[in-house]
């Protein structure tokens, strides 16, 4: 069965420091995609970054990077130089051949609440 695990319910980070949010996944699909979303207190889910299972390099988008370790089935999000506006819930999600596929369904983790301290 497909599963996403985020073991950190909440985290604190000092402004301007880097922070890593953990995500592990379980799937038997040979091909899959991994996503990270941010949800500020306003409620809207914002797409941050994507990693394909066959991508040779770790994905990066501005201050966001994905530390993808396929053998360990982990896809941790790294935020560099944290800003106050980074305070939000962060969700890891996955789509595989047998769950989602071309129909686009995602499985979400339960999220990590990040608080950035000034």
Chain positions contacting other proteins, by CB under 8 A: 31-33, 35, 37, 42-47, 50, 52-53, 91, 95-96, 100-106, 108-111
Residues 6+ apart with CB under 8 A from 9: 110, 111, 112, 113
At residue 10, the 3 state secondary structure works out as strand
Shortest distance in whole angstroms from residue 77 CB to other proteins: 14
Shortest distance in whole angstroms from residue 17 CB to other proteins: 26
Shortest distance in whole angstroms from residue 66 CB to other proteins: 13
* Closer Cβ to other proteins, 102 or 118, answer by number: 102
The HSE-up count of residue 6 (CA atoms within 13 Å, CB side) is 25
* Closer Cβ to other proteins, 35 or 118, answer by number: 35
Longest dimension (CA), the chain: 44
């Amino acid at each position: 069965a497909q599963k996403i695990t985020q073991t950190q319910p909440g985290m604190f980070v000092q402004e301007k420091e880097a922070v890593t949010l953990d995500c592990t996944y379980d799937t038997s699909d040979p091909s899959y995609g991994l996503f990270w979303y941010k949800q500020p207190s306003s409620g809207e889910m914002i797409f941050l970054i994507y990693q394909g299972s066959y991508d040779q390099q770790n994905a990066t988008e501005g201050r966001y990077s994905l530390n993808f370790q396929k053998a360990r089935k982990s896809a941790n999000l790294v935020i560099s130089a944290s800003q106050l506006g980074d305070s939000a819930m962060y969700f890891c999600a996955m789509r595989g051949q047998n769950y989602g596929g071309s129909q686009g369904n995602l499985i979400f983790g339960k999220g990590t609440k990040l608080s950035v301290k000034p």
